[in-house]
Amino acid sequence: MIVLMIDLTHRMALELDNVLSIPKYGRLLDPDGYRVASTLKRGGPTSQDDPTTAPSNSSPVRPVKHKKYSYNTDDEAERGAKSNLDAQDVIGVPLGRDRENAPATSTLSSAEKDEMVAEFVDERDPLASAITADIIELSDMSEDEADEADGQQIVTENGGNGSDGKKSRKQPSIQGGALTKESFYGDDANNPNQYIIDKLKEMLDFYERTKDQWRTIGYRKAILAIKRHSNPILGKQDAIQIPGVGTRLAEKIEEIINTGHLRRLDNLGETAEVIKLFTSIYGVGSSLAMKWISQGLRTLDDVEKHLTRNQKIGLKYFEELNERMPREEVTRISETVQTAARALDPQLQCITMGSYRRLQMGAALIYFTGSDIFNRSMRLLAFRMGMRLNQRGLFADVIYGPDRVRLTEGRLIAQRTEQEIFDDLGVPWRPPHERHC
DNA sequence: AGGCAATACTG
DNA sequence: CAGTAT
DNA sequence: GCCT
């Protein structure tokens, strides 16, 4: 089957097993609506294919050669997968701010699309190809999932509830053994060591913007470890117990405990601020930032004339690229992409990745996680309990007629977390690898 | 002392 | 190739 | 930065 993975985040790549997302850039701020490039092929082994030749439905899909975009699916040829899209295709959807009424593109011929691709590539800023989506071939997805390809795979109804709005906003922690983001990383609000974490985070931010790749990793791991550590850290000895926290950090932690702040941090002063400012320009990293600082540059204006083409775009859209994309907007863009993609191939499974997916509700997680057998048995169980489970949630008080015909929708009783759905079904939560049946 | 993920695009 | 990005 |  073919899966379209939509990645709208500009800062985070998704890496999931063999599936790599294509690094692309946040959002497209082109004001004139959107267009879909259906076969935007990149370089590599497949680029010699005649781009004007639409792949034939009946011909076997050739093995995927470009490892960047997919992994090999040996049995794919035998199964003769039908799709207008190949695994190395990329769908790019430039999106403007005012795109609600953007024109539909589903009826475009492939020649027209290719023309658009050419235009897209030639005339657009590279940064403008904001939204990209990978076509990934997955050979191990179940029939069951394929059967469900009709509906919306992305949960959108409750998307824009603002829970994704702020930078470090977290959902409340949930109890039980569920391996959720919260239980794994800890919960800001309830963590007794949050003030320590905050200080260390500031250090981390600085090193992230400096050159110090390894210190960055050290801090990051330590902070993660402290977040998972639920007891209050009272001193150096406590701290150094935590794997990931060594002598140096333990001392800093003690200083934070005793004095409330870090002298090291206070000393970073202006430099840290300016580095932060400069590296906030998309395409400007620590090296350039430090170089500029050493040349006496301090403001965005100072720096303007030293930028490359891409960096100029980064500066032009400075605000937009540094702003977190509202979840609602992600939802909207996802739908746009999906509509366009399905027009090209109705069979497509579409999944929006990144932080959007991490906050995706439990019902959808269960669904995507599988296995098919597991999902079937969970749904059957729900049915027997007079309920209904699907990728949107668990519904109670569902009325069924003869032959399991469902007469009512029922009322939504659980959807946000896997845990609550399992609970309501009376099934002990189990980790994905134990969901074989 | 040496490793700490892997890979793509840009200029 | 170094820098920047995901 | 931390760990081996």
The separation, in Å, between residue A426 CA and nucleotide D1 C1' comes to 45
Question: If you write DSSP's letter for every residue of A81-136 in order, what string do you get?
Answer: ---SS-TT-EEEE---SS-TTPPP-TT--HHHHHHHHHHHHHHS-GGG--EEEEEE
Tell whether A254 and A285 lie within a shared domain.
no
Condensed to tens digits (0 to 9), the pLDDT of residues A87-136 reads: 334 444 433 322 333 333 223 333 433 343 333 333 332 222 333 444 44
Tell whether A245 and A276 lie within a shared domain.
no
What is the C-alpha end-to-end distance of chain A, expressed in Å? 21
Q: How confident is the model at residue A73 (pLDDT cuts 50, 70, 90)?
A: very low
Nucleotide B11, nearest residue via CA and C1': A308
Q: Is the pLDDT of residue A326 over 50?
A: yes
Active site residues of A: 252
Sign for the pseudo-dihedral over CA of A298, A300, A305, A311: positive
Q: Which nucleotides of strand C are protein-proximal, with an atom < 7 A from a CB?
A: 2-6
CA distance A165 to A141: 32
Do the domain assignments include residue A94? no
The separation, in Å, between residue A23 CA and nucleotide B9 C1' comes to 9
Mean pLDDT over A30-37 rounds to 29
Do the domain assignments include residue A423? yes
Question: For residue A26, what is the DSSP state?
Answer: S
Tell whether A255 and A195 lie within a shared domain.
yes
Sequence length of chain A is 437
| Contact between the CB of A219 and strand D at under 7 Å | yes
Which pLDDT belongs to residue A296? 95
Q: Is the pTM of this model over 0.85?
A: no
Tokens linked to A223: 């902070």
Do the domain assignments include residue A377? yes
Q: Which domain-ending residue is among A259, A283, A305?
A: A259
Mean pLDDT over A406-411 rounds to 90
Tell whether A429 and A383 lie within a shared domain.
yes
The separation, in Å, between residue A253 CA and nucleotide B9 C1' comes to 40
**A129 cis-preceded (ω within 30 degrees of 0):** no
Do the domain assignments include residue A66? no
* Burial class of residue A258 in the structure, from the number of CB atoms within 10 Å of its CB (0-12 exposed, 13-18 middle, 19+ buried): exposed
Q: Tokens 């589903």 — which residue?
A: A106
Tell whether A229 and A195 lie within a shared domain.
yes
Tokens linked to A181: 């983001």
CA distance A2 to A346: 10
| Contact between the CB of A68 and strand B at under 7 Å | yes
Number of helices followed by number of strands (H, E) in chain A = 18, 9
- Confirm if A366 and A418 have CB atoms less than 8 A apart: yes
Question: For residue A49, what is the DSSP state?
Answer: S
Tell whether A232 and A293 lie within a shared domain.
no
Nucleotide B8, nearest residue via CA and C1': A23
- What CATH number did the domain enclosing A306 receive? 1.10.150.20
Return phi, psi of residue A134, to 5°.
Answer: -85, 140
Instruction: Count CB-CB contacts under 10 A for residue A431.
Output: 10
The separation, in Å, between residue A199 CA and nucleotide D3 C1' comes to 23
Condensed to tens digits (0 to 9), the pLDDT of residues A229-279 reads: 889 999 999 999 999 999 999 999 999 999 999 998 888 888 889 999 999
Q: Is the pLDDT of residue A223 over 80?
A: yes
| Number of domains comprising chain A | 3
Mean pLDDT over A380-407 rounds to 90
Which pLDDT belongs to residue A302? 97
Do the domain assignments include residue A197? yes
The separation, in Å, between residue A11 CA and nucleotide B6 C1' comes to 16
CA distance A376 to A384: 12
| Contact between the CB of A239 and strand D at under 7 Å | no
C1'-nearest nucleotide to the CA of A26: C6
Question: For residue A174, what is the DSSP state?
Answer: -
Q: Is the pLDDT of residue A207 over 70?
A: yes
Which pLDDT belongs to residue A156? 24
| Contact between the CB of A274 and strand C at under 7 Å | no
- Confirm if A435 and A427 have CB atoms less than 8 A apart: no
Paired residues of A389 in beta bridges: A394
| Contact between the CB of A218 and strand D at under 7 Å | yes
Instruction: Count CB-CB contacts under 10 A for residue A249.
Output: 24
Nucleotide B9, nearest residue via CA and C1': A23
| Contact between the CB of A13 and strand C at under 7 Å | yes
Domain that holds residue A215: 181-259
- What CATH number did the domain enclosing A402 receive? 3.30.210.10
Mean pLDDT over A408-415 rounds to 89
Q: Which domain-ending residue is among A259, A277, A308?
A: A259
Strands A19-20 and A15-16, sheet pairing: antiparallel
- Confirm if A274 and A289 have CB atoms less than 8 A apart: yes
Which pLDDT belongs to residue A249? 96
Which pLDDT belongs to residue A309? 76
Q: How confident is the model at residue A2 (pLDDT cuts 50, 70, 90)?
A: low
- Confirm if A223 and A233 have CB atoms less than 8 A apart: no
Q: Tokens 């905050």 — which residue?
A: A198
Candidates A368, A371, A398; CA nearest to A382 is A398
The separation, in Å, between residue A225 CA and nucleotide D3 C1' comes to 14
Do the domain assignments include residue A315? yes
Do the domain assignments include residue A225? yes
Tokens linked to A382: 């729900």
Do the domain assignments include residue A13? no
Candidates A225, A184, A231; CA nearest to A204 is A225
Condensed to tens digits (0 to 9), the pLDDT of residues A95-106 reads: 332 233 333 322
| Contact between the CB of A24 and strand C at under 7 Å | yes
| Contact between the CB of A245 and strand D at under 7 Å | yes
| Contact between the CB of A133 and strand C at under 7 Å | no
Q: Tokens 């930028």 — which residue?
A: A307
